Amino acid sequence: MILLTFNIVNSTAECKNSAGISLLERLKITEENTKVILNILDQHDIKASFFIEISIVEKLQNLIKAISAQGHEIAFYNENSTLDKIDQVKKNSQDFLEKQIRGIRQKDLKYSLEELKSLEFNYVSNIDHANILFPFKRLKRDTEITEENGVSIVPESISPYSQLPYNDFVFQAFPMQYYQNMVFETLKNEEFVLIYLNTWQFTDFKKFSLKMPFYRRLNSGRKMEDKLHQFLNWINEKELATSRMKDYIF
């Protein structure tokens, strides 16, 4: 099973000119990138899970409604919000969506399973930092979903052969043929492959004069769109199964 997920987060890249770029403009870029992703998913008839960063959830209500209406899962991604803020946004979101939000993703700031359970989350999908040194690390990690105190813990997926994680950087930087082979070989040994990408990877950094390390500019923007098209087309050609996170876990 392929679990395709997207983190809806604003780019924090600095602007090259002195005028800078406002938070509203960054939000608009994030919204447009998400619409591009939705269009690509629709063309290939594939459903995914979207993890929206807590601080921008209430600013993107119409977009979130559109994501949900197209059959995708809505979940949360927390960067630095308090538990009270998460609780408030979760309740408000469930009211306007009329659906329960079951999952949350964390990276730097990680709340305990007990705290997440108190907010009525059913699963947590934590991720690590993805940078240019990641491919050179030998990683050892449990790749099976476990449950603790009523909360399912979904680990990052790792290729058993290359030891590469299925994070946003690897998808963007590595040749698609190599990436497809990774997925195919992993599915022979594991029950699922969890893949995550960030909406800011679909940004044309030159157009918006945003500073970004060279390895993050590589294959970004339109090239990232092409890679996603290519990957989803391959999934359908090989008749590989895909699922939203909540459907697979529960």
Question: Residue 103 has what pLDDT?
Answer: 98
Question: Residue 141 has what pLDDT?
Answer: 59
Number of domains the chain contains: 1
Q: What's the pTM?
A: 0.92
Stretch 234-250: mean pLDDT: 96
Stretch 71-95: mean pLDDT: 96
Question: Residue 92 has what pLDDT?
Answer: 97
Residue 180 structural domain: 2-249
Question: Residue 13 has what pLDDT?
Answer: 66
DSSP 168-230: HHHHHHS-HHHHHHHHHHHHTTSS-EEEEEEGGGG--TTTTTB---HHHHTT-THHHHHHHHH
Question: Residue 149 has what pLDDT?
Answer: 86
Please report which confidence band the pLDDT of residue 208 belongs to, taking 50, 70 and 90 as the band edges.
Answer: confident
Residue 20 has pLDDT above 80, yes or no: no
Please report which confidence band the pLDDT of residue 17 belongs to, taking 50, 70 and 90 as the band edges.
Answer: low
Answer for the pair 101, 74: CB distance below 8 angstroms, yes or no: yes
Residue that wins the pLDDT comparison between 54 and 210: 54
Question: Residue 129 has what pLDDT?
Answer: 60
Per-residue pLDDT tens for 128-164?
765 555 554 545 556 789 999 889 999 999 888 788 8
Question: Residue 130 has what pLDDT?
Answer: 57
- Cα–Cα distance for residue pair 151/199, rounded to 1 Å: 27
Domain at 87, CATH number: 3.20.20.370
Per-residue pLDDT tens for 165-203?
899 999 999 999 999 999 999 999 899 999 999 999 999
- Cα–Cα distance for residue pair 167/37, rounded to 1 Å: 17
